[in-house]
Amino acid sequence: MEHYDIIVIGGGSGGLAVAERAAPHGARVAVFDPKPLGGTCVNEGCVPKKLTWYSAEHMSHAREAGEFGVDVEIKGIRYADLANKRQSMLKDLNQFWSGHLEKLDVTHIPERARLTDKNKVVSESGTEYTAERIVLAMGGAPIVPPLEGAELGATSDDFFEWTELPGSIAVIGAGYIGLEMAGMLRSLGVKTDVVAMEDRVLEMFDPMISQALDQHMEYQGIDRHLGVKVAGLGGKPGAVTIKLEGGQELGPYEKVLWAVGRKPATANMGLEEVGVEIARGGIIPVDEWQATNVEGIYALGDIIGKGPLTPVAIAAGRRLADHWYAPESNPVPVDYDQIPTVTFTHPTAGMVGLTEPQAVDKHGDSVRIYETQFGGLNRAFAEGEVPPVAMKLVCAGDDEKVVGIHMIGANVDEMLQGFAVAVRMGATKRDLDLTIPLHPTSAEELVTLKEGRPGRQKGLSKAA
């Protein structure tokens, strides 16, 4: 029976991070994953999504170029070309990871694994392996609700296999994955509807972001059917209808996409048998150093139900390995309260820290809000009214510490990273005021905000 110091189940963002950080210290590491290495981010998530998003961005810019006197004739989108290039880039990344693990002497076992004991796993083909430590990093999969006709709908995994675009689509769900897909598809010319039970888009974000994004979606011609419950799908492939509770029917659409969340891949893993606690929704509770309730078994990434983002999984994996093998580097556990997040919607939106309602809940009357909405110079010559760029600072306490930043508009994805550093370091409103603005940019608005108002005592939404 083969023995390792660390067995990692799942070769995605988190699993690979712990493996590559531990191996140089001489740890014997095995990574199980039946799929090409890289996990969701590489194969069905961030990377193919951002590549597709760029295509949609180029299309939007081409449409707007005429406003600045640039003559562009848009002939359409060669989507099969894009899909092929995208696929070959993903293969390169898969190969990079295989080669990288080989160089580090990490064994990749291309099979599913399941626990049979607290320090033992068995591969699909029946071989048993033991380890001092087992790291669970199986990620998750899109949820397809058990509704009548649900199989007529596709998922985000399917989306990345398409080599042609549908003529029309309904995206069910108003979280970031669904809205990113809706924005890309619409920009690429697909008639797009969003159908969701939430009352507002991006419910987890500050209400200002939801409102502004909604205006942009309206401007782009995306119909939103919010506050409705889907009862099932009907029709046939290529002409799918959506049945709503109450009897109304939407469609037909050439495609329907389920984007109603992701479930952790923790079922049928032998976890219950070994005694690993599994909480509601299939997530695995862990302590600050990713330890489960069973000694020697750790969990990180999407399966722990906190901050389901690639850099969070990577940080957890690297810091865990440092905690074990390089304590002298003074590793600290991941702070799940200060995770900057951006959505690659059209336009991009981003946040770090608390939303206004969350800040009011936590800091009460001491909350002060600074916000602005303006038309970016990039649309200065657009005909008619253009939806705004919107920014908000959430401050709290006598010293007006910045506890939240929210923005939506072109390039806010690139702006937020630096501001997230400032928030982490405890920046106050005065620190921002004393910072010389970069002019003329949109980002400068965040360091020139004046005349704050008290936080609204009642949030606009239950979740925000």
Ligand X SMILES: Cc1cc2nc3c(=O)[nH]c(=O)nc-3n(C[C@H](O)[C@H](O)[C@H](O)COP(=O)(O)OP(=O)(O)OC[C@H]3O[C@@H](n4cnc5c(N)ncnc54)[C@H](O)[C@@H]3O)c2cc1C
Residues that bind ligand X (CB under 6 A): 9-15, 32-33, 35, 39-41, 44-46, 49, 112-113, 137-139, 156, 177, 265, 269, 301-302, 308-311, 313
What single string gives the DSSP state of each residue in 88-120?
HHHHHHHHHHHHHHHHTTPEEE-S-EEEEETTE
Give the nearer residue to ligand X in terms of CB position, either 122 or 326: 122
Q: Which helix (H) or strand (E) holds 221?
A: none
Using the 8-state DSSP alphabet, how is residue 303 labeled? G
Helix axes 207-220, 356-363, angle to 10 degrees: 170
Q: How far apart are CA 30 and CA 172, in angstroms?
A: 38
Amino acid in the structure at residue 339: I
323 is catalytic: no
Give the nearer residue to ligand X in terms of CB position, either 360 or 410: 410
Q: How far apart are CA 15 and CA 302, in angstroms?
A: 11
Amino acid in the structure at residue 360: V
CB of 367 to ligand X, least distance (A): 28
Q: Which two tokens stand for residue 354?
A: 């608390």
Q: Is 281 exposed, middle or buried (0-12, 13-18, 19+ CB in 10 A)?
A: exposed
Give the nearer residue to ligand X in terms of CB position, either 52 or 241: 52
Q: Considering the candidates 100, 216, 323, 439, report the single residue annotated as catalytic.
A: 439
Q: Which two tokens stand for residue 179?
A: 């809205």
Q: Which two tokens stand for residue 300?
A: 């990180």
CB of 32 to ligand X, least distance (A): 4
CB of 369 to ligand X, least distance (A): 27
End-to-end CA distance of the chain: 51
CB of 181 to ligand X, least distance (A): 7
CB of 388 to ligand X, least distance (A): 24
**Beta sheet of 191-196, edge-to-edge order:** 223-226, 191-196, 168-172, 255-258
Give the nearer residue to ligand X in terms of CB position, either 15 or 455: 15
CB of 360 to ligand X, least distance (A): 28
Give the nearer residue to ligand X in terms of CB position, either 313 or 422: 313
Q: How far apart are CA 398 and CA 125, in angstroms?
A: 63
Give the nearer residue to ligand X in terms of CB position, either 413 or 445: 413
CB of 137 to ligand X, least distance (A): 5
* Best CA proximity match to 316, nearest among 8, 106, 90: 8
State yes or no: cis peptide before 347, omega within 30 of 0: yes
Q: Please say whether the dihedral angle defined by the alpha carbons of residues 156, 30, 309 and 90, taken in this order, is positive or negative.
A: negative
Give the nearer residue to ligand X in terms of CB position, either 297 or 309: 309
Using the 8-state DSSP alphabet, how is residue 329 labeled? G
Question: Which residues are catalytically annotated?
Answer: 439
